[in-house]
Amino acid sequence: MNPHLLRLLGSIGLDILRSLAIALGIIIFTFFVIRMIPGDVVDVRGVEGSLTYSQQTSMREDLGLNQPWLTQFGEWSGMILSGDLGESSRYNRPIVDLLAIVLPSTLMLGATALAIGLIFGISLPTLACLFPRSIFVGIVEFITIWSITMPTFSIGIMSVIVFAVWLDWIPAIGNFLVPAIILGVDTTGSLAKMLYEDMKDVESSEYVRAARAKGLSRSRIILRHVLPNALSVTIALIGMMLAGIFTGALTMEVVFGLPGLGTMTLQAIQGRDYPVVQAIIIWLGLAVIFANLMTEIIRKLVDPRLRTS
Amino acid sequence: MSVEAAPRTFRPSLSGHSPLTVLAYIIVTVALVVAVAGPWLITQDPLMFSADVNMPPGNGHILGTDDAGQDVYSRLVVGTGLSLFYGASAALVALVIGSVIALLAMALGRPTEIALFAFIDLIRALPGILFALACIVAFEPGVGSVVLALGVSFAPNFALITRATYLQQMAQPYTSAAKVLGAGRLRIALVHVLPNIAGALITQFAMILPRCIVSESVLSFLGLGVSPETPTWGRMIASATSYIEEAPHAALAPIIALSLVTFALAIVGNSIRKRFNVSRKSVTL
């Protein structure tokens, strides 16, 4: 077998093993952290006055909450591994159904933000490098400072006050476009910042000087040599950015009153609905791990230098 | 990153700074003065309720009143101190946990290093707010758990930068010299390397501080932060957003304060980064 291919496969195999270990860690960690929360769903329902004492006892038995932790963990991890997310103990409905209701809205928000981020986050730094004396350099610098200094949370609330209360352009509850743009601009900023700096670094490297000495045009150097090399570094951070986009989406949903995964997470935490909280944390964690693994594999496929370790 | 090239001369002059940086330093100074002098600046008890709810600015209330008839100005002044204090405490917890544990793990050898950074990968795979939310609910909401949860969720940033700078310092001749002279791994890490990576850690602290202040606000906004008697900015925003139509000023005052201070702290953090000559990429955000 070709030694290069062997090394590539070995390196990817190690990545997969590492991701599996982290995934297992998240499953164990989530279960025990959530079980440390004082009070359970039955307590919350009891306080709300909707259950008698004997109903509470039988509900605990039905949900298995009176079993030892380790037994609960054993049964639960078996269930999770077989792909069953379980039931919400508050609404007595399968979590899959609940997710199916809220997920599209959150995915739309996240995907729109990511799309805005990718389109402008890649094109703006490229334009700034192609035309170093143009307004694009200023735009990149501005949007970089903006995303570092202006948290989406502050911008979100200010937008509600300005656009919904004062100008009455958007409804105060349930607007989709404004939070998507806020998150998109934020993503653009962090992406543009990294890419622009990487492109500047690559531009001063020796092989770019060699390409220039060969007489290649400036635009060809930047589009064919600088951009792909700088992108390979930036791609690695997209997995991490997904976690940030979700965090932003969670806050934006609550600020703008959008029904979605963020709102559901908050309600589940406040209502002590363990199975839902667990399912959300685990599936988000797994999604981030998977995204990181994919970006790592893609980078190794396109960039042979990374295959060694 | 070239930490070893940290400038030795400290010149507290404003020359050579952009107007934006000067403005940022002024905002931070004002915020610090307000935070310290808070008790003498308030016009009434920030916790005193009254029947004058959601009053616009004027009539003895410089910034009006909120939904419980409390004076927004007095709450804002007290909140400045609280928000800065909790934010700084959280960032400090992150700095201490992250850097000390990482340094010890690196010094003790490969197995502890691998174990620690596997755990850090685990924390980093979870969205930060979600991790903090889970921690806070697990320890009961309150000031202590907010600071601890934020500290733990930002600790990986410090651990990663500690590892990167530690490895660089271990490649320097002075650490080899210490080794030859018989210094143990722990001694080298704590006595020789730590002072040399302090610049990078201070820079990271300055970059993390505004994010801790915002995260505290977000958690309070989500109802999982501090209790209503503690008027941090996030807490004020949280109670004011339910009445945003009637009293937008009650939400606007803390959100502007929050934005101004986090903006200024981010710019100041960047200028500290330049002072310590830490490259922008080595600072993990």
Which residues, numbered 54 to 113 in chain A, qualify as contacts with chain B under a Cβ-Cβ cut-off of 8 Å?
Answer: none
Give mean pLDDT, residues B169-193.
81
Query: Which residue of A161, A204, A237, A309 is the best one to mutate when testing the B interface, meaning the one whose CB has the most B CBs within 10 A?
Result: A161
CB contact under 8 A, B214 and A25: no
**Structural domain total, chain A:** 2
Same structural domain, A145 and A238: yes
Q: What is the pLDDT of residue A116?
A: 92
Q: What is the pLDDT of residue B131?
A: 76
CB contact under 8 A, A160 and B127: no
In a domain, A111, yes or no: yes
C-alpha to C-alpha distance for A250 and A153, rounded to whole angstroms? 10
At residue A93, φ and ψ (nearest 5 deg) are -125, 150
CB contact under 8 A, A247 and B130: yes
Name the burial class of residue A249, with classes exposed (0-12), middle (13-18) and buried (19+) by CB atoms within 10 angstroms of its CB.
buried
- The answer to whether A243 faces chain B, any CB pair under 8 Å, is yes
Q: What is the pLDDT of residue B1?
A: 41
Same structural domain, A61 and A101: no
Q: Which of A27-41, A239-253, B85-99, B262-276 has the lowest mean pLDDT?
A: A27-41
Nearest alpha carbon to residue B126 among A55, A68, A256, A280? A280
Q: What is the pLDDT of residue B94?
A: 92
In a domain, A302, yes or no: no
A84 lies in which domain range? Answer: 1-90+271-278
Same structural domain, A74 and A201: no
Q: What is the CATH number of the domain that holds A110?
A: 1.10.3720.10
C-alpha to C-alpha distance for A130 and A220, rounded to whole angstroms? 10
Give mean pLDDT, residues A58-83.
70
B140, B266, B280: residue with CB nearest A149? B266
Question: Binning pLDDT at 50, 70 and 90, where does residue A34 land?
Answer: low
Name residue A244's amino acid: G
C-alpha to C-alpha distance for B279 and A195, rounded to whole angstroms? 15
Same structural domain, A17 and A165: no
C-alpha to C-alpha distance for B145 and B152, rounded to whole angstroms? 10
Reply yes or no on whether the pLDDT at A278 is more than 90. Answer: no
Question: Binning pLDDT at 50, 70 and 90, where does residue A237 land?
Answer: confident
pTM: 0.80
Q: Which residues contact A119 (CB under 8 A, 6 or more apart)?
A: none
Q: What is the pLDDT of residue B244?
A: 74
Cα nearest neighbour of A282 on chain B: B126
Same structural domain, A148 and A41: no
CB contact under 8 A, B130 and A265: yes
In a domain, A307, yes or no: no
The C-alpha of B15 sits at a distance from chain A's nearest C-alpha, in angstroms, of 21
Q: What is the pLDDT of residue B90?
A: 92
CB contact under 8 A, A153 and B126: no
Question: Binning pLDDT at 50, 70 and 90, where does residue A119 land?
Answer: very high
Q: What is the pLDDT of residue A45?
A: 62
Please report the number of interchain residue pairs, chain A to chain B, with beta-carbon separation below 8 angstroms: 127
A244: number of Cβ within 10 Å:
21
In a domain, A176, yes or no: yes
In a domain, A303, yes or no: no
A123: number of Cβ within 10 Å:
14
Give mean pLDDT, residues B9-14.
50
Nearest alpha carbon to residue A255 among A186, A166, A191, A161? A161
Same structural domain, A13 and A82: yes
Same structural domain, A149 and A224: yes
ipTM of this model? 0.75
Which residues, numbered 105 to 164 in chain B, qualify as contacts with chain A under a Cβ-Cβ cut-off of 8 Å?
Answer: 118-119, 121-122, 124-130, 133-135, 137-140
Give mean pLDDT, residues B60-67.
68
Same structural domain, A248 and A120: yes
Which residues are bridge partners to B248 per DSSP? none
- Of A44-48, A61-65, A271-275, which has the strongest mean pLDDT? A271-275
| Chain A residues closer than 8 Å to B217 by CB | 153
Same structural domain, A61 and A107: no
Give mean pLDDT, residues B205-233.
82
C-alpha to C-alpha distance for B231 and B214, rounded to whole angstroms? 14
The C-alpha of A304 sits at a distance from chain B's nearest C-alpha, in angstroms, of 23
